[in-house]
Amino acid sequence: MTLRIEHDDQQTESACLDCGAAYRSVIGVIYEDEDPLAIYRADIFDRFHRDAGPRVLLSIAVGDWSDDAGRGDRCSAAIEAWPEDDGVQMAISDRSAAPWDELEVVAWQMSARDAQESPLRDAFYRLAEHIAREDRRLRGVLKSKTPL
């Protein structure tokens, strides 16, 4: 299984409805071999809510992307990622996956509580780790500030 990411350099800028913090959003597609596996949106915060540190909110949608598939054939998860020590920490989040709600792309979003027992949890984390490692647009904010 070979994963690869495709994206353009387009980004949008917005402000968090909860705290007013500015963020930028980017979109990408993950392919497994030549088949689309997931689409994602990354909201990139230099300062996240009341936390002084940077954070990325990944909204990842997985499932069947064939022409005859519908939103019931796909699900999503929101994963927060942030730099810590010499790596990246991640956690399933209950924050809204607004891009998928607006586009009617998925039938349901996995909650943080559901993730404790879901067999999809590890798959979502593997995809999030791949995105964090391979999408150059996220590297700056997820890079640890701790000297080696």
pLDDT in tens, the chain (148 residues): 789 999 988 899 988 877 788 899 999 999 999 899 999 999 999 887 767 789 999 999 999 988 899 888 888 899 999 998 888 999 998 876 555 666 677 878 888 888 888 888 999 999 999 999 999 999 888 986 544 4
DSSP labels for 65-113? -STT--GGGEEEEEEEEEEETTEEEEEEE-S--HHHHHHT--SEEE-HH
Measured CA to CA, the distance from residue 106 to residue 104 in angstroms comes to: 6
pTM as predicted: 0.88
Listed by start position, the domains of the chain span 3-142
Q: Which of 128, 138, 93, 96 is nearest to 114 (CA)?
A: 93
Measured CA to CA, the distance from residue 60 to residue 70 in angstroms comes to: 16
Tens digits of residue pLDDT in 19-55:
788 899 999 999 999 899 999 999 999 887 767 789 9
CB 26 within 8 A of CB 7: yes
- Class of residue 132 by CB neighbours under 10 A (exposed 0-12, middle 13-18, buried 19+): buried
Cα torsion through 108, 68, 5, 107, rounded to 10: 0
